[in-house]
Amino acid sequence: MPADAEIIRADGHMIAPGFVDLQVNGGGGVLLNNDPSLAGIETICRAHAQFGTTALLPTLITDRPEVVKQAVAAGREAHAAAVPGFLGLHLEGPHLALARKGTHDPALIRPMETADCDFLVENAGAFGVALITVAPESVQRQQVARLCEAGYTVSLGHTGTGCASAGEYRMAGASMATHLFNAMSPLNHREPGLVGAVLSDGGLSCGLIADGYHVDPVAMGIALRAKKGPGRIFLVTDAMSVTGTDMESFTLNGRTICRSEGRLTLADGTLAGADTDMLTCVINCHKVLGVPLEEALRMASLYPADAVNARHKGRLEQASDADFVLLSEDLQLAATYIGGARVFSAA
Ligand SMILES: [Zn+2]
């Protein structure tokens, strides 16, 4: 311990690693798709620090090529400026499967072309952690291999791909699946789908939206008991711009998304991201699913950090970043620290 270290009295609070969220579309009134800028990223990171998140990947939902380029440029700036809480970018789309589009605009979903792959490879490493969600229907295995070699974590999602095909993409380098159960082929007894591949392949980790609406608690419990390691199920919020605000609606690719009773939906009722935050997901996991608190905290910190190979995040040990939260016994957030600096205090 340095002799001049500041002493902070935790007053009986628990100290836990700060939360790591690999899927954050927005927060604080900003949606990355609508404001792909340094200022937009700063607002999103600040908003989620109020809920204990100390490292996140601003996530771009399927959009036009120029918006992807703007988001990557903003990510480069945020990485260079070491914005507190910014870990890198998650590009969710546009190379997905139309049949599993979810809230993604079908007019903007398209196969990955060589120029797309070149652009991604050229920018690898320039914006920190690089995560991309792709569907085998729109991306070739050689492209996945090329992205992995360049340093991307490739996640399979928004896909109807079968279990065997998922295994082939796993061999090409894919190591993750995006929001387990949602927008993917389900586990059927004759075709175990991507859900079956994720649960039975220890080389795959996956995000889970534990807001209570995206996946039924019974299915969440089954998945947690079935998951083969070392790959883990970790928590993601899939949060939109409304997190940390009292906004009642917003737009995505020109379509209105409404907020009501804990859900965000398009006009046809399709779930469009989640109206939640990481602390709420941890509490749901612990109180609704009965996951021990220590494990629920690991699902929000250690496991996502490891899934993108961010070994300096998600843990409290020598040489890791001083990103941590203070929690009361009843799991209220008292303070959030990023890099040893307090960025949020409930007091
Ligand atoms: Zn999605």
What is the CATH number for 288?
Answer: 3.20.20.140
Which residues, other chains included, contact 270 with Cβ-Cβ below 8 Å and sequence gap of 6+?
102, 103
How many angstroms does the Cα of residue 64 sit away from the middle of ligand 1? 16
Task: Decide if 3 is inside a domain.
Answer: no
How many angstroms does the Cα of residue 20 sit away from the middle of ligand 1? 18
The per-residue pLDDT for 7 is 87
Please give the mean pLDDT across all residues of the chain.
Answer: 97
Mean pLDDT of the region 273-292: 97
Question: Residue holding tokens 């220890």?
Answer: 202
pTM: 0.97
Which residues, other chains included, contact 2 with Cβ-Cβ below 8 Å and sequence gap of 6+?
none
How many angstroms does the Cα of residue 286 sit away from the middle of ligand 1? 24
How many angstroms does the Cα of residue 339 sit away from the middle of ligand 1? 30
**If residue 95 lies in a helix (H) or strand (E), which one and from where to where?**
none
pLDDT of residue 341 exceeding 90, the answer is: yes
CB 210 within 8 A of CB 285: yes
Task: Decide if 250 is inside a domain.
Answer: yes
Task: Decide if 241 is inside a domain.
Answer: yes
pLDDT tens digits along 69-113: 999 999 999 999 999 999 999 999 999 999 999 999 999 999 999
CA atoms within 13 A on the CB side of 84: 22
Exposure b/e, 72-91, CB count within 10 A at least 16 = b: bbbbbbbbeeebbbbbbbbb
How many angstroms does the Cα of residue 287 sit away from the middle of ligand 1? 25
The per-residue pLDDT for 347 is 84
**If residue 108 lies in a helix (H) or strand (E), which one and from where to where?**
none
Task: Decide if 1 is inside a domain.
Answer: no
How many angstroms does the Cα of residue 238 sit away from the middle of ligand 1? 8
How many angstroms does the Cα of residue 179 sit away from the middle of ligand 1? 7
pLDDT of residue 8 exceeding 90, the answer is: no
| Domain of residue 289, residue span | 14-345
- Banded model confidence at residue 340, pLDDT cuts 50, 70, 90: very high
How many angstroms does the Cα of residue 290 sit away from the middle of ligand 1? 26
Token code pair at residue 326: 């203070």
Task: Decide if 89 is inside a domain.
Answer: yes
How many angstroms does the Cα of residue 306 sit away from the middle of ligand 1? 21
Task: Decide if 220 is inside a domain.
Answer: yes
Pairing state between β 333-338 and 341-345: antiparallel
The per-residue pLDDT for 46 is 98
pLDDT tens digits along 128-182: 999 999 999 999 999 999 999 999 999 999 999 999 999 999 999 999 999 999 9
The per-residue pLDDT for 80 is 98
Count of domains forming the chain:
1
Residues 115, 118, 119, 123: what is their CA dihedral angle, to the nearest 10 degrees?
180
Cα 338 from Cα 18, distance rounded (Å): 8
Residue 338: strand pairing partners? 341
Token code pair at residue 57: 């990947």
- Banded model confidence at residue 23, pLDDT cuts 50, 70, 90: very high
Cα 232 from Cα 213, distance rounded (Å): 21
Cα 77 from Cα 4, distance rounded (Å): 33
Task: Decide if 2 is inside a domain.
Answer: no
Positions marked active-site:
238
How many angstroms does the Cα of residue 319 sit away from the middle of ligand 1? 34
Which residues, other chains included, contact 131 with Cβ-Cβ below 8 Å and sequence gap of 6+?
22, 57, 88, 89, 90, 91, 152, 153, 155, 176, 308
Task: Decide if 227 is inside a domain.
Answer: yes
Cα 63 from Cα 65, distance rounded (Å): 7
- Burial bucket for residue 12 (CB in 10 Å: 0-12, 13-18, 19+): exposed
